[in-house]
Amino acid sequence: MQHKQTVIDIRNLSYSYVNEETSNRVSVLHDVSFSVSECEFVSIVGPSGCGKSTILKLIAKLLDNNHRNIGIDRSKMSFVFQDFALFPWLNVRENIGFGLKMKSLDKKSLDIVVNEKILEVGLSGSEHKYPHELSGGMKQRVGIARALAMSPSILLMDEPFSSLDMLTAEKLRIDLLNIWTKYKMTVVMVTHLIDEAVEMSDRVIVFGPRPTIVKKVCEISLPRPRDKRSKEYFDLCDLISKEIL
């Protein structure tokens, strides 16, 4: 059996912040430990406000903390945001190429990558539209394309489908799984939908309420593409639901 390398290693991570209104220190994460292997798709689920997004931001170094507890190579990391976070002054092409432009990639190479990602996420014909002219699903496609344009080996996703309607979200989930199968990158996704976590992940990490600890880690060994009507699928969803409730 091939041994997979650990690409994210979180050891005894705690995080708290000072509430500016009450001046009280609020503990969010308490002694959280888990690791993620290369090419693995891991989802984090838990009750509202338990710190799911916080841990993703800590991994991405978007929050100040003692980052020694998080072992990760951030040079090949990318991020998909819940509310898309597209730059309103840039069109689809420019948004997708933003990260590459910041890396000072030459225009020719940048155009090649952007064209490739536009085709890959199904945005042909909308290249010159601005974010306010796009539907929610298309906005998130731009968000995913922008993240993929960086050729990441680690992709962090913060509730990427929660701002979308059910049908659009389902279509995008399928597309994302195809992209993940193609590139085999490591994915860490935060979601509040247990069904979504079971459908997409190799492993589901269940967080408890604040101050958060890891309550359970569920291996999802169902074959892909997953039969969402199978008994095993429902059993796994029930098991995780019970842990959260």
Partner 1 sequence: MSRIILGFHLTKKRKHIFTTSFVLISIAVIFSYIIIISGDNAGQLINSLMLSLFRLVSAYAISLVVATIVAIFISNSRFGDMMIPIFDLLQNIPSFALIPLFIYWFGYTNIMTIIFAATSILWPILFYVLHSLKTVRRELDDAAKIFGAVGIKRVLYFLMPVAFPSLVTGSIVGFSIGWEAIIGVEIIGLASGIGQFLNTPVGNNNNQILGISALLIIVFLINRLIWMPLLRKSQLYAA
Residue 242 in the binding site for partner 1 (CB under 8 A): no
When binding is defined by CB under 8 A, the residue of 17, 34, 98, 183 that contacts partner 1 is 98
> Does the protein bind partner 1 through residue 125 (CB under 8 A)?
no
Restricted to residues 184-223, the positions that interact with partner 1 (CB under 8 A) are none
**Whether the bond into 211 is cis, omega within 30 of 0:** yes
**Which residues have C-beta within 8 Å of that of residue 228, sequence separation ≥ 6?**
195, 199
Does residue number 30 form part of the binding site for partner 1 (CB under 8 A)?
Answer: no
> According to the binding rule CB under 8 A, does residue 132 interact with partner 1?
yes
Between 26 and 62, name the residue whose CB sits nearer to partner 1. Answer: 62
Q: Which of 43, 54, 69, 78 touches partner 1 (CB under 8 A)?
A: 78
Q: Which of residues 138-177 bind partner 1 (CB under 8 A)?
A: 146, 150
CA distance linking residue 92 with residue 131, whole number of Å: 7
Indicate which single residue of 13, 60, 110, 114 sits in contact with partner 1 (rule: CB under 8 A): 60
Question: Which listed residue (99, 138, 140, 145) binds partner 1 by CB under 8 A?
Answer: 99
Binder to partner 1 among 87, 227, 234, 238 (CB under 8 A)? 87
Q: H or E stretch including 231?
A: helix 231-244
Binder to partner 1 among 16, 47, 57, 211 (CB under 8 A)?
A: 57
Stretch that binds partner 1, among 56-64, 119-127, 165-173, 178-186 (CB under 8 A): 56-64
At residue 225, what are phi and psi to the nearest 5 degrees?
-70, 145
Three-class SS of residue 42? strand
Q: Give me the residue label for tokens 């489908």.
A: 161
Contact by Cβ (8 Å): 193, 43: no
DSSP state of 63: S
Say whether residue 102 binds partner 1 (CB under 8 A): yes
40-74 b/e (C-beta count within 10 Å ≥ 16 → b): bbbbbbbbeebbbbbbbbbbbeebebeeebbebee
Binding residues for partner 1, rule: CB under 8 A, are 57, 60, 62, 77-79, 81-89, 98-99, 101-103, 130-132, 146, 150
